[in-house]
Amino acid sequence: MQSDTREPASSRSIYVTEDVRSYVLGRKRDFRVSTACSGPILLPTSVKPPKMTDLQVPVGDYTIYVSKYQARYIDSIHKGMIPIFFDDF
């Protein structure tokens, strides 16, 4: 069994792409990156509420919460994390 050598999420920042920033600011709500079968997914907190263990990434007056499980593996939050049924770019 190998140990995980990735640095903890709290010791680094996660970049939010400009298109996701626009998406969040345009919808005027908080979001959460959580785990789905296809990988990380960005959902409104009304669909997937944040947990106390989530990393918080500020976007203007709003917050993107990142699951502690996803935070270890992602460096950026990008358009590919927005589910197609929420995608109206």
33 vs 66: CA distance, rounded Å = 5
Instruction: Give the global pTM.
Output: 0.81
Distance CA(87)–CA(44), nearest Å, equals 12
Q: Where are the domains of the chain?
A: 9-81
Tell me: the pLDDT tens digits for 9-57?
Answer: 444 589 999 999 999 999 999 999 988 888 899 999 999 999 999 999 9
CA distance 57 to 66: 7
Predicted local distance difference test score (pLDDT) of residue 83 = 87
